[in-house]
Amino acid sequence: MPEGRQVTARVAGLGVVLPERVLTNADFERMVDTSDAWIVARTGIRERHVVGTEESLATLAVTAGGRALADAGVEPEAVDLLILATATPEQPIPATAAIIQPQLGVRNAVCFDLSAACSGFLYALNVARQFIAAGEAATAMVIGAETLSRYTDYTDRATCILFGDGAVAVVLQRAPAGEGILETAWHTDGSYSDFISMPGGGSKYPPNVKRHIDERLPFIKMRGNETFKVAVRALTDVSQEVLEKAGMGVEAVDLFVPHQANKRIIDAVAERIGLPPEKVFVNLERVGNTSAASIPLALADARNAGLLRRGDLVLAAAFGGGLTWAAMLIRW
């Protein structure tokens, strides 16, 4: 067993928040040249939750974090580390994790954000696991949260129908090897960085230049069809890689929890890795693609539906902007 694998981390509590406001496919039929039939057939999505004017990334993350602490029965002062995975932070400076620290009461935690788009939650879980395994933290909180609607171009029919908002927090605690997070595989290939991007809003095309707004640069752009093909291959490969690293066969998996971007991607990956539909969890119909919140939202929904029981082996796999991709095996 490699150094640092004697101790791992397990999920001790989960907290979820979805904004109340819902955008249905019928709403998009009124906004752009699309149809409910096209969206359902090409993506599987029917509804997504989006933040209202009084909400922001921080308000969602604080609510989710508080619920996770209550679910775990952990006092906020016991949290040593807070990682917030997001592509849509509250503001560039400071990190949203720092902004929410006082409201969550996690005053002893070192707090930072992690940017890996839709793979952000699995990246952050793996970073937190290593802090715990190294003895740097006993209790950690990881939050996957997004307000993608704030950066969605609602005139672009190819992207606007995909995204939703939400936040999910987990509390992680030390666990003996064999429980909790068993194995991770993670990758980045920046040569595809223009496949999913938001070119404006950063230091190259700052948001304080009107021309950048007029050219619609601070909006999410995606080369959808090319992304689709890379996503199927990368998710398949990384799922097989993590099983191989753990010395397990696909038949050991009780539940596959993939990133909820597109039902056709999920079906293609499940078929390639040899998982029957009853072992594949899908909730994108009701929430769309919530990026860093997607995997934990699916875990929470699966748990609430009674599909995730203690001791089950979960295979989670994510793919997103970067390009980034990752898979994780969790003994729930």
How does DSSP assign 63-116, residue by residue? HHHHHHHHHHT--GGG--EEEEE-SS-S-SSS-HHHHHHHHHT-TT-EEEEE--
Q: By CB under 6 A, what part of segment 53-112 binds ligand ACO?
A: none
Check if 289 is active-site. Answer: yes
Check if 259 is active-site. Answer: yes
Asked, as a colleague might, if the bond just before 14 is cis with ω within 30 of 0, I would say: no
Query: Looking at 38, 151, 154, 205, which residue binds ligand ACO (CB under 6 A)?
Result: 38
- HSE-CB at 230 with a 13 A cutoff on CA atoms is 22
**Closest distance to ligand ACO from the beta carbon of 102 (Å):** 29
Distance from chain centroid for Cα 135: 26
List 111, 118, 126, 283, catalytic entry: 118
- 186 vs 319, beta carbon nearer ligand ACO: 319
Contact status, residue 195 vs residue 221, Cβ threshold 8 Å: no
* Both structure tokens of 161: 């129908």
The one segment of 50-58, 89-97, 303-311, 313-321 that binds ligand ACO by CB under 6 A: 313-321
> In terms of DSSP bridges, do strands 313-320 and 255-258 run parallel, antiparallel, or are they unpaired?
parallel
Q: Is 164 among the residues that bind ligand ACO (CB under 6 A)?
A: no
Residue 268 to residues 152, 224, 262, 265, 278, Cα–Cα distance (Å): 27, 16, 10, 5, 14
Contact status, residue 279 vs residue 254, Cβ threshold 8 Å: yes
- 13 vs 322, beta carbon nearer ligand ACO: 322
**Closest distance to ligand ACO from the beta carbon of 323 (Å):** 8
Query: Looking at 8, 262, 283, 290, which residue binds ligand ACO (CB under 6 A)?
Result: 262
SS (H, E, C) 115-168: CCHHHHHHHHHHHHHHHHHCCCCCEEEEEEEECHHHHCCCCCHHHHCCECCEEE
Query: Looking at 68, 97, 117, 141, which residue binds ligand ACO (CB under 6 A)?
Result: 117
Burial of 122 (0-12, 13-18, 19+ CB in 10 A): buried
Cα-trace Rg, the chain: 19
Q: Measure the CA–CA gap between 159 and 292, rounded to whole angstroms.
A: 17
The one segment of 108-116, 174-182, 200-208, 223-231 that binds ligand ACO by CB under 6 A: 223-231
- 146 vs 301, beta carbon nearer ligand ACO: 146
Q: Measure the CA–CA gap between 94 and 187, rounded to whole angstroms.
A: 27
Q: Is 282 among the residues that bind ligand ACO (CB under 6 A)?
A: no
Check if 25 is active-site. Answer: no
Q: Is 118 among the residues that bind ligand ACO (CB under 6 A)?
A: yes
Query: Looking at 224, 241, 279, 307, which residue binds ligand ACO (CB under 6 A)?
Result: 224
* Contact letters for ligand ACO, residues 283-302 (x by CB under 6 A): ------x-x-----------
Query: Looking at 225, 247, 306, 311, which residue binds ligand ACO (CB under 6 A)?
Result: 225
Query: Looking at 34, 103, 115, 130, which residue binds ligand ACO (CB under 6 A)?
Result: 34
Q: Is 177 among the residues that bind ligand ACO (CB under 6 A)?
A: no
Contact status, residue 198 vs residue 151, Cβ threshold 8 Å: yes
Residues of the shown chain interacting with ligand ACO in the complex, contacts defined by CB under 6 A? 34, 38-39, 42-43, 117-118, 157-158, 161, 196, 224-225, 227-228, 231, 261-262, 265, 289, 291, 319-321
Catalytic residue numbers, as ranges: 118, 259, 289
